[in-house]
Amino acid sequence: MKCLQRQPNCSRSEELLSYAQTQKVIQVNLQLLGIENDSDLQFLLQGGELLKVRSASWKKPRYFRLQEDCKTMWQESKKTLKSNQTFSLSDISMVRKGRQSEGLKKYTEEQVESCCFSIVFKDSCKNLDLIASSEGEAKQWVKSLEKIISNINKLNCQQKTEHWIFSCLKKADKNKDNKMNLEEIKDFFRLINIEVDDNHAEMLLKKCDKSKSGYLDGEEIKHFYDLLTYREEISVIYGEYAKSAGFMSPNNLVDFLMNEQREKATLADAHKIIEKYEPDEHAKEKKLLSKDGFLMYLQNPDALILNPDHQEVYQDMSQPLNHYFISSSHNTYLMEDQLKGPSSTEAYIRALLKGSRCVELDCWDGPDNEPVIYHGYTLTSKILFKDTIKAIKEYAFKTSDYPVILSLENHCSIKQQEVMAHHMSSILGSALITSPLGEGMPKHFPSPKELKGRFLVKGKRLNKLEASFASEAAGSDDAEVTEEEESNSENEHKKEVKKKKKKVELAQALSDMVIYCKSVHFQSFEDSRQTHSFYEMASFKEGKAMKLAEESANDFICHNVDKLSRIYPAGSRTNSSNYNPVPLWNAGCQIVALNFQTAGTEMDVNQARFMVNGKSGYILKPAYMRDTATEFDPITLTRGDWLRHKMLHVMIISAQQLPKVNNRKSSILDPLVRVEVYGVPADATEKETNPVENNGFNPAWNENHQFDVYVPDLALVRFVVEDYDSVSENEFVGQYTLPFNSLKMGYRHVPLFSKNGDLLPSAGLFVHIMVLDAE
């Protein structure tokens, strides 16, 4: 959150002039955002006082108001020396009604439930917990915030660009006279991430200054905007196909879609595009597409680089559960590091909303007979097991309807295990799987489709599932359960505990809840084939799993045709860093668990794997990884159905509105683009462009790169933009990663995500993609 300095005292006439100017700016922004005469917006612009809650003793009134740009909230501080703070509405992840946050639950009483709400931010910022003076006022705040955030998110690229440039123009207009002199023009360029020398700035001023006044005003500023946003590459492409008096006819558009975009297109499709995207009513009446309409079409979500068909559930969801890669979180309760960071139900909410279908609960005895969750033998904070299960139930199926696996790391006494079983049963109710689906002993896993909206418990079980179908259910050959504690093996400093095998004391009620995901210790693939049933699954520390994936890849794949495997990070990753999940997916491992709280390449790749198929959290493995007789080996790549050698041609053309890597006005990007391919070892490679100096607003490269992709089913493509530095490490600007098989060909815009995985508004790349069969 950045700060705004207090304004100096003004005279009454100055105040009136300032008010009039502010109202004019607000009206322009309302027009740009398409939300004029909206009562909810007027409520936010007027603002009001709310009680801000930080602790039991820190509850203070603060005035909140939407600023004139209609996208920044202003918060007045009562402290004399403290400047007032702002935050952008685009940084808000969601607004939650009631006492849903940990802070409000802990520091407020139940009677103020209806007056409470929380603003949750996208990055690692703490929630903003607030109390309104009445239930009606709280509802108004929540409704108004949700409405304007929704409207901002619905803006098309052109509207976002216009709004952003207008905001930058207002910031550069230091004396608020609605004119732009030479110094203000130079300031404006720095704000939008371009460094121009004095000569170039003067040239632009003279070009637009038709009145010869020495500054830009009114229509001259509009002309300046048009020059600024002109995209030569779009003009060239459009010119190739605009054969009807400088416009694209429906026939011209069909030619473009079929020849360049490699899409099956009809005249009916072309008419729909013109009707939907052409902004000029005269052109629309004549069934023509202007250059502006063409650009608006290219920037719409369905025309981007990701195949829109893959944004819905398009795969067969009726296969057994173990035939899918499953989005999985490790130590889900942690917000930061593994040694002293906070544990929070918020971490579960964030992981579930990101699509995780397997969450981990590290359970220990707590006070008052209430089990707690934290990272054992460390100083991480503790949360109640009961509160965690409530949060999981609330958010489990917001992003995906498909089943959630609760991976229990159970360190509790028998007494508190019974409490755990009670909480899961009473809170999750009939959604919790407590017996096999169908009649009789199952022979394979149910499918994600059959398990929609259900919870599975992964943990230890006192006996085999088969025993519950026999008359002698209590007597089983597995009654004495031993395990190597995962959490202890994760803590490298507990070596003396790590070596021990521990006899498990397990409550019957908790044991009976483990149906399809019984935890067992892995000895060897041969031992698993002979002694383990399909529902008995092993967890592998990353080092052991990576070694197996490298040395015995085909055995690992065959193992995972029949059973589930879970992989988890090494205990040495105390900073919650992540390993590369790709080699484990190549070995058919389904539950490759990562620290969702830690941003980086590994999480980018993980999110890319699961961004398709409706963000269901389940991705069907290729057929050759579901066949018990498969000979597929990602290391040796012998002949088989998996070998479909493709040539990927990528032309990096340009970028638009890249964000600064820091807030210094003088900081201007020198951007470069790197294209990375992830997959089997033969496909793993990267290539990068040359940097463009001093231009983060509209840099152009026009560079071609070519890649061999041998196993496209397992490949992912990552576009990374960095700020080049000749003397130190390049700085990350943005990235976008997607499965190779989800690439759309032709001229495509590529959206960009921040380091935390949030969409960067208006920023993007423009590329040309071609995928051909290798000769």
Would you please indicate which residues are annotated as catalytic (active-site) residues? 330, 375
Q: What is the C-alpha separation between 103 and 105, in angstroms, rounded?
A: 5
Contact 72, 87 (CB under 8 A): yes
Residue 59 marked ligand-binding: yes
Residue 603, Cβ density class (10 Å: 0-12 exposed, 13-18 middle, ≥19 buried): buried
Q: What angle do CA 573, 574, 578 make, to 5 degrees?
A: 35
Contact 565, 358 (CB under 8 A): no
Amino acid at 131: I
3-state helix, strand, coil in the chain (%, to 5): 35, 25, 40
Contact 521, 538 (CB under 8 A): yes
Which residue has 């969801």 as its token pair?
Answer: 317
Residue 409 marked ligand-binding: yes
Residue 589 marked ligand-binding: no
Residue 77 marked ligand-binding: yes
User: Three-state DSSP class for 15?
Assistant: helix
Residue 585 marked ligand-binding: no
Contacts of residue 547, Cβ cutoff 8 Å, sequence gap at least 6: none
Residue 120 marked ligand-binding: no
Residue 492 marked ligand-binding: no
Residue 362 marked ligand-binding: yes
Residue 527 marked ligand-binding: no
Residue 73 marked ligand-binding: yes
Residue 63 marked ligand-binding: yes
Q: Strands 404-410 and 358-364, how do they pair? A: parallel
Residue 99 marked ligand-binding: no
Residue 593 marked ligand-binding: no
Contact 564, 448 (CB under 8 A): no
Residue 335 marked ligand-binding: no
Residue 644 marked ligand-binding: no
Residue 477 marked ligand-binding: no
- Compute the radius of gyration of the chain from its Cα atoms: 29
Q: What angle do CA 561, 564, 567 make, to 5 degrees?
A: 120
Contacts of residue 411, Cβ cutoff 8 Å, sequence gap at least 6: 362, 363, 364, 365, 376, 485, 487
Residue 478 marked ligand-binding: no
Q: Strands 746-753 and 502-503, how do they pair? A: unpaired
Q: Which two tokens stand for residue 737?
A: 């990663």
Residue 724 marked ligand-binding: yes
Query: Which one, of 722, 721, 690, lies nearest residue 705 by Cα?
Result: 690
Residue 85 marked ligand-binding: no
Contact 522, 549 (CB under 8 A): no
Residue 71 marked ligand-binding: yes
Residue 642 marked ligand-binding: no
Torsion sign across C-alpha atoms 79, 80, 81, 82: positive
User: Three-state DSSP class for 499?
Assistant: coil
Q: What is the C-alpha separation between 32 and 21, in angstroms, rounded?
A: 17
Residue 52 marked ligand-binding: yes
Q: Strands 84-88 and 3-4, how do they pair? A: antiparallel
Residue 732 marked ligand-binding: no
Residue 544 marked ligand-binding: no
Residue 723 marked ligand-binding: yes
Residue 380 marked ligand-binding: no
Residue 264 marked ligand-binding: no
Q: Give Dmax over CA atoms of the chain in angstroms.
A: 99
Q: Which two tokens stand for residue 235?
A: 């003009």
Query: Which one, of 326, 345, 451, lies nearest residue 401 by Cα?
Result: 451
Query: Which one, of 31, 145, 174, lies nearest residue 23 by Cα?
Result: 31
Residue 187 marked ligand-binding: no
Residue 122 marked ligand-binding: no
User: Three-state DSSP class for 746?
Assistant: strand
Q: Which two tokens stand for residue 212?
A: 């010869």
Residue 416 marked ligand-binding: no
Residue 670 marked ligand-binding: yes
Which residue has 């607004």 as its token pair?
Answer: 95
Residue 131's φ and ψ, nearest 5 degrees, are: -125, 125
User: Three-state DSSP class for 74?
Assistant: strand
Q: What is the C-alpha separation between 658 and 734, in angstroms, rounded?
A: 8
Query: Which one, of 726, 775, 733, 768, lies nearest residue 747 by Cα?
Result: 768
Binding residue ranges for substrate: 52-79, 458, 460, 539, 566
Binding residue ranges: 52-79, 331, 360, 362, 409, 458, 460, 539, 566, 668, 670, 694, 723-725
Binding residue ranges for Ca(2+): 331, 360, 362, 409, 668, 670, 694, 723-725
